Amino acid sequence: MARFNKDILISQTTVGGTISWETPRLFSGVIRQVLVKANTNSTTFNFDITDENNNIIYSPSALAVGTLREEMAIPAIGILTLRIYNASADELFTGRIAFQEE
C-alpha cells in the first residue's frame, strides 16, 4: 500500500479567474492524487501543474465542474507551479496534492 509522505494543501482564492503558486521544493517522488474543490459546486475551472523547467506535467483536457479529483502516478521533483485558471467565479478553492517521496 502506497503511503503519501506529503500533502500539498490548497487554499487559494482566484482573482480574474486565475491564481498560481509554487510548492516547496520536493525531493524525488510521485504525485499520486490531485483534489481541487471550488467553493461552489457549479464553478467551472481548469487546473495544471508545471515543473521548474516550465514543462506542463499535468493538465486534464476536460473543464472541471465543482471538483477535480484524479488518481495518477506522475514523477515529480523540485519546485512545482500549481495553477487554477479560466474559473467561472472568483472564489476560494481548497484541496490537496498527494505526493509520495521515493
Buried b (16+ CB within 10 A) or exposed e, 77-99: eeebebbbeebeeeeebebbbbb
23/25 Cα distance (integer angstroms)? 6
CA 27/CA 78 separation, integer angstroms: 6
Which positions ≥6 away from 19 have C-beta within 8 Å? 12, 13, 83, 84, 93
Chain mean pLDDT for the chain: 94
**Given this model, what pLDDT does residue 1 score?**
45
Please give the model's pTM, rounded to 2 decimal places: 0.91
State the CATH class of domain 15-86: mainly beta
d(CA 78, CA 52): 6
Q: Is the pLDDT of residue 29 over 80?
A: yes
- pLDDT-derived band at 2 (thresholds 50, 70, 90) equals low
pLDDT band at 5 (very low <50, low <70, confident <90, very high): confident
Tell me, what's the pLDDT at 75? 95
